[in-house]
A and B are shown apart, each in its own frame.
Chain A
């Protein structure tokens, strides 16, 4: 192969590789951006699911007392009855 054809082929190959590299970087950057957007969107729901326990307890179920009522004698300080 003539010398100038070899140089031309090398230049063309390097130019092609440069184009592929540039495309790869753009594709990578776009993927990162899309991933970021997806993370933000899904992360919002994820944080809602992972609300603090006390928040869930207060809103998601009737809260049982820290301890059940104790037995007592006498008449009591107040009366709980219907009004």
Chain B
């Protein structure tokens, strides 16, 4: 097993491969793909396709194949969650002051909101017209995109798949805690510590589980937080209100067939609150949900916490 750690998308990436000597080639593949994705959909780069589209004033805008793919993934997540995971949260996030790299947002703590008064519901994913074949996008009714909820997870899936195909080995990549795996896993699977913060020390409270395929993602209201207008806010927007979700869960981890699906479900679970338990049970998705008091619920075959572990 060989390991590499690097910074990307304003967070920490970890790359593991099962074949000795393959880490350099694997890292090159990841670097190229992640750079393409960043240029396509960063909300904080004026030269990104997403920034140009958000500034297009509703005019049809040509997009690249990779942007079309990332947007299609975001719209699929919206459709599968009944709009709970919605890519048109861009204006709501910017209104809360999250309109630059997160490190800068946090450093500017206490800044007044960019918008005054309640933001209200987001325009909604139905306002996004994607002509995938013609590779054109139009945003209606002032919709502004933020693909953060799904693009990072999609990047993890694509990196893992491409590296496994081209390097012919088992691969795990974690992009800020969104984990995608591909290829032949280690004999006992990939051990992953599940906790609130992907940057937490190895002994932080949580649970260790293994996966052999697909992806695992964790969403939390406790990590990407900042202060604006004297109140603490976080980055998971409830599309129904345009405000940070008020959830009974502080952290939700989900395992799924892909990292994108895991991320979609974990984000939706935060937004849905208590109703997420029945939803996850019904669709058979293994998940670990942690309340603000630290008590844990699990669904659909997620292993019980080891007695020595705490939430």
Q: Is the CB–CB distance between A80 and B191 below 8 Å?
A: no
Q: Is the CB–CB distance between B1 and A77 below 8 Å?
A: yes
> Which of the listed residues B11, B12, B224, B261 has the most CB atoms from chain A within 10 Å of its own CB?
B261
The listed residue (B1, B190, B199, B304) touching A81 by CB distance below 8 A is B199
Chain B residue, CB-CB nearest to A62 = B261
| Interface flag for B150 (CB, 8 Å) | no
Q: Is the CB–CB distance between A59 and B191 below 8 Å?
A: no
| Interface flag for A68 (CB, 8 Å) | yes
Say which one of B30-38, B52-60, B87-95, B172-180 lies at the interface with A.
B172-180
If A65-B286, A82-B251, A83-B223 touch, whether A77 touches B192 (CB-CB below 8 Å) is yes
If A66-B212, A72-B210 touch, whether A79 touches B174 (CB-CB below 8 Å) is yes
| Interface flag for A74 (CB, 8 Å) | yes
Distance in Å: Cβ of A70 to nearest Cβ of chain B: 4
Distance in Å: Cβ of B291 to nearest Cβ of chain A: 15
| Interface flag for A6 (CB, 8 Å) | no
The listed residue (B80, B192, B264) touching A80 by CB distance below 8 A is B192
Q: Is the CB–CB distance between A71 and B303 below 8 Å?
A: yes
Say which one of B113-121, B201-209, B240-248 lies at the interface with A.
B201-209
A64 to B85, CA, bound (A): 18
Q: Is the CB–CB distance between B256 and A65 below 8 Å?
A: yes
| Interface flag for B211 (CB, 8 Å) | yes
> Which of the listed residues B14, B178, B210 has the most CB atoms from chain A within 10 Å of its own CB?
B210
The listed residue (A62, A66, A70) touching B264 by CB distance below 8 A is A62
- A22-58 contacts to B, CB under 8 A, are 57
Q: Which DSSP category, helix, strand, loop or mixed, fits chain A's interface?
A: loop
**B16 partner residues in chain A, CB cutoff 8 A:** 77-78
| Interface flag for A69 (CB, 8 Å) | yes
**B206 partner residues in chain A, CB cutoff 8 A:** 79, 81
Number of A-B residue pairs having CB atoms within 8 Å of each other in the complex: 162
**A72 partner residues in chain B, CB cutoff 8 A:** 188-189, 191, 208-210
**B224 partner residues in chain A, CB cutoff 8 A:** 82-83
Q: Is the CB–CB distance between B301 and A68 below 8 Å?
A: yes
**A68 partner residues in chain B, CB cutoff 8 A:** 255, 286, 300-303
A71 to B194, CA, bound (A): 12
Distance in Å: Cβ of B91 to nearest Cβ of chain A: 22
A15 to B180, CA, bound (A): 79
| Interface flag for B284 (CB, 8 Å) | yes
A61 to B177, CA, bound (A): 23
Say which one of B21-29, B161-169, B213-221 lies at the interface with A.
B213-221
Q: Is the CB–CB distance between A67 and B212 below 8 Å?
A: yes
Q: Is the CB–CB distance between A80 and B220 below 8 Å?
A: no
The listed residue (A59, A63, A83) touching B256 by CB distance below 8 A is A63
A81 to B201, CA, bound (A): 11
A59 to B9, CA, bound (A): 27
Subset of 7 A-B contacts with CB under 8 Å: A69-B192, A71-B303, A74-B208, A79-B204, A79-B206, A80-B192, A83-B177
Chain A residues with CB under 8 Å of chain B are 57, 59, 61-83
